[in-house]
A and B are shown apart, each in its own frame.
Chain A
């Protein structure tokens, strides 16, 4: 491609942008490189982000594969309450006599599930509404933007708490409720990006060749915003973990028989002085989880947009 007499950047093929940066040796410059390969390579060069990814995968493994190794049932209440850590209960038992480690495994799994559902759900809704508003403009834009403003004026935690009380405290209800009030941010960002992208020539070309709105949005607009979208999704995961914790803490989030890291913390925080392991266990997991996701988001941002690279501590 560099030998092309008129090196016009073809926006339909964003790989051209990456190819213009001489990141690799001359040797494999001859190979066709996809943009995704470049991004993945850049991400893996970000050591902290890779470490964060490993931590995130370990936490997921703890939650999802943990029950295979630690077979004590969460529901088993035969032990006495508040036993100190021992061989039978590495993290002791909680007030009702349930095993803390088993609780943590289930809580981690459900917290991760909630966070992923919230992140993916809010991203899908936000991107759909934001790109529609930005691309169609006019009345559709006004309607969607005003609706977004409206949703933003009521605190998410209050509405979510009211709905959880009205519906139920199972993990998926909490996840869907949180997702229903988390898409506004990404909708605004997507709308802004779409507004500027829609002015570009390749969109005009697509329109001229008779592409339908849906085609333009999903084949031309969304792929060009994928960096912003991915970074915001990872940030939404971290926010969702923290929102769930806050909601469960005030007693209007996940409820028994389901459990979550937030619920475990709220049930055990009064024991921080007498039985510190009951508090610090879920605390460490929840902080590691949101730290890891934030670092992954940082790494992805640098990988998608190398101009913004900022090495950080």
Chain B
């Protein structure tokens, strides 16, 4: 198993390397960070040239890529070169944004998987019951909803709920803006109050979207397993319904769902970008939009490399889960 993981990680190095070349060309071709300065009246060509030289933009792209790569591997991800902004260190700001986003995404994804699997299994076991119809149709609805709308609606009703709380003489609970930078203060009870209030709505909007996909997938896969021959055999042997469902069907029905885990990674990222924009969190999504707006090439490279690595890790985790759930698939 450990050998398998090491081998997979080693294989992903050349993939990341080629990916970084493509990304670098894409980012460089996308726009020139000094273009906005050129458009500004009153700047002499000499000033622009000096700026380009100081940023290294006068070099050919191969040279720039090589310089970036050497520094990147050594842990120096460069500095933000967006004009009019402080030259922040990219590594630390990407990691800070990643930490903010991770707190949002990890919780939402775990909730979505657990809820989705549970609801999907119940819907399949009680096929055509009222619960099944409710779960299936709400999953279908959530599946077809833009996450923008989910987040906006949740935010609106969150504010109304707060107004209601306030009119009843209580504190505003649900936060619709980014978490306070200094962490949560006050007594333990108050901290929990703040914590839940801050995370509830963004987590909920991300959870709802992923939950729809998981429960749909789990229901279909569970139905297929329940209708298979070996489950019928197990029933015919007189094994209790409970044991058939949990020992025989459930475990096998989880196998296809584990592939959804890696497929869902991309959806999760775009969901996080939108959710962060709606709720004003300064995570990876905010950072992406900001650096695209200012054509900040090294910042974008840092962002793309981190997300690419995460997607590869997601795939690896999905494959390991696959191997654990299905011993026929040898991971060696």
Contacts and interface: CB of A to CB of B under 8 A. Distances in A.
Interface in A261-289: 262, 265-266, 269, 272-273, 279, 283, 286-287
Contacts of B22: 150, 154
Interface residues of A, number: 45
A166 B153 CA distance: 32
Contacts of A159: 26
Contacts of A262: 146, 148
Contact of B311 (A153, A162, A266, A279): A153
B289 A252 contact: yes
Contact of B146 (A149, A242, A252): A242
Contacts of A269: 148, 152
Contacts of B146: 241-242, 245-246, 249, 262, 265, 286-287, 290
A243 B270 contact: yes
A152 B311 contact: yes
A291 B146 CA distance: 11
A265 B274 CA distance: 13
Interface in B123-157: 128, 132-134, 136-137, 140-141, 143-149, 152-153, 156
Nearest to A252: B292
Q: Contact residue range for chain B? A: 35 or more
A138 B18 CA distance: 21
Interface string B286-314: 00110011010000100110011001100
B136 A312 contact: yes
Interface in B255-278: 263, 266, 269-270, 273-274, 277
A163 B293 CA distance: 11
A161 interface: yes
A66 interface: no
B122 interface: no
B156 A283 contact: no
B23 interface: yes
Interface string A291-313: 10011000000000000001111
A311 B147 CA distance: 27
Residue among B27, B128, B159, B292 facing the most chain A CB atoms (10 A cut-off): B292
A163 B152 contact: no
Contacts of B9: none
B10 interface: no
Contact of B30 (A162, A266, A312): A162
A251 interface: yes
Given A155-B311, A246-B273, A249-B274, A162 B148 contact: no
B202 interface: no
A246 B304 contact: no
- For the complex of A and B, the 9 pairs showing the least CB-CB separation, nearest first, are A166-B30, A313-B133, A290-B144, A157-B270, A245-B146, A291-B144, A313-B137, A153-B308, A155-B269
